[in-house]
Amino acid sequence: MNEENNIAVEGENNWEEKVGLAKMLVGGVVMDVTNAEQARIAEAAGAVAVMALERVPSDIRKDGGIARMSPVSKIQEIQECASIPVMAKSRIGHFMEAEILEALSVDFIDESEVLTPADEDAHIDKSPFKAPFVCGARNLGEALRRISEGAALIRTKGEAGTGDIIHAVRHMKLINSQIKELAGLGEWDLATCAEKLNAPRDLVKQVAKDGRLPVPNFAAGGIATPADAAMMMRLGAEAVFVGSGIFKSSPDPEKQSAVARAIVEAVTHFDNPAELVRICQNVDVAMRGEDTAEIPEEKLLQSRGW
Amino acid sequence: MVNARRFPDLPRAGKPTIGVLALQGSFPLHIASLQRCGVETRKVRKPEDLEDIHGLVIPGGESTTMENLASRCGLFDALRSAGRNGLPIFGTCAGAILLGKGTERPERLQVVDIEVRRNAYGRQVDSFNAELFLASFETPFHGVFIRAPIIEAGTENLDCEILGLHEGHPVLIRNGRILLATFHPELTDDLRIHKLFLEMCELASGKAGEEIREESGAGQTRENAF
Q: Indicate the domain borders of chain A.
A: 15-180+213-284
Task: Please tell me which of the candidates A43, A105, A132 has its beta carbon nearest to residue B64.
Answer: A43
Pairing mode, strands A86-91 and A49-52: parallel
- Interface check for A43 against chain B (CB to CB < 8 A): the answer is yes
A89 is catalytic: yes
> Cis omega (within 30 of 0) on the bond before A200?
no
The amino acid that residue B33 corresponds to is S
Tell me: the pLDDT tens digits for B29-63? 999 999 999 999 999 999 999 999 999 999 999 99
Q: What is the pLDDT at residue A289?
A: 87
Pairing mode, strands A108-112 and B178-181: unpaired
B17-216 classified as CATH 2.60.120.10: no
Residue B211 has pLDDT above 90, yes or no: no
Q: What is the pLDDT at residue B203?
A: 55
| Selection from B193, B217, B24, B110 nearest residue A84 by Cα | B24
**Cα dist from B71 to A75, A80, B77, B106, B107, whole Å:** 30, 25, 7, 11, 10
Q: Nearest-CA distance from B21 to chain A in Å? A: 11
The contacts of residue A217 (CB under 8 Å, 6+ apart) are A143, A154, A155, A156, A172, A175, A236, A237, A238
Q: What is the pLDDT at residue B15?
A: 61
Task: Please tell me which of the candidates B22, B69, B146 has its beta carbon nearest to residue A264.
Answer: B69
Check CB contact under 8 Å for B62 and A24.
yes
Tell me: the pLDDT tens digits for B127-163? 999 999 999 899 999 999 999 999 998 888 878 999 9
Under the banding of pLDDT at 50, 70 and 90, the label for residue A72 is very high
Residue A88 has pLDDT above 70, yes or no: yes
Q: Nearest-CA distance from B29 to chain A in Å? A: 9
Task: Please give the ipTM for the structure prediction.
Answer: 0.93
Residue A245 has pLDDT above 50, yes or no: yes
B93 is catalytic: yes
The amino acid that residue B108 corresponds to is R
Tell me: the pLDDT tens digits for B81-135? 999 999 999 999 999 999 999 999 999 999 999 999 999 999 999 999 999 999 9
Mean pLDDT over residues A227-245, rounded? Answer: 96
Q: What is the pLDDT at residue B14?
A: 52
CA dist., res. B104 & res. B93, Å (int): 15
**Cα dist from B140 to A103, B135, B150, B164, B185, whole Å:** 33, 10, 20, 10, 12
Residue A287 has pLDDT above 80, yes or no: yes
The amino acid that residue A22 corresponds to is A
- Which residues from chain A sit within 8 angstroms of residue B22, using beta carbons? 27, 268
Q: What is the pLDDT at residue A280?
A: 93
- Interface check for A17 against chain B (CB to CB < 8 A): the answer is yes
- Helices A201-210 and A187-197 meet at what angle, rounded to 10? 120
CA dist., res. A182 & res. A198, Å (int): 14
Q: E strands within chain B?
A: 17-21, 40-44, 55-58, 89-92, 115-117, 128-132, 141-145, 150-153, 160-166, 169-175, 178-181
**Is the CB of residue B114 less than 8 Å from the CB of residue B173?**
yes
Pairing mode, strands B115-117 and B150-153: antiparallel
Mean pLDDT over residues A121-143, rounded? Answer: 97
Residue A252 has pLDDT above 70, yes or no: yes
Q: What is the pLDDT at residue A13?
A: 76
Pick the catalytic residue from A23, A62, A74, A89.
A89
Mean pLDDT over residues A83-112, rounded? Answer: 98
| Selection from B80, B57, B97, B64 nearest residue B182 by Cα | B97
CA dist., res. A27 & res. B25, Å (int): 6
Tell me: the pLDDT tens digits for A209-230? 999 999 999 999 999 999 999 9
Under the banding of pLDDT at 50, 70 and 90, the label for residue A11 is very low
Q: What is the pLDDT at residue B213?
A: 40
The contacts of residue A12 (CB under 8 Å, 6+ apart) are A128, A130
- Which residues from chain A sit within 8 angstroms of residue B60, using beta carbons? 24
**Is the CB of residue A218 less than 8 Å from the CB of residue A155?**
yes
The CATH architecture of the domain made up of A15-180+213-284 is Alpha-Beta Barrel (3.20)
Tell me: the pLDDT tens digits for A149-168? 999 999 999 999 999 999 99
Helix boundaries (H) for chain B: 27-36, 63-72, 75-84, 94-99, 192-200, 205-216
Check CB contact under 8 Å for B24 and A84.
no
**Is the CB of residue A109 less than 8 Å from the CB of residue A87?**
yes
- Which residues from chain A sit within 8 angstroms of residue B129, using beta carbons? 16-17
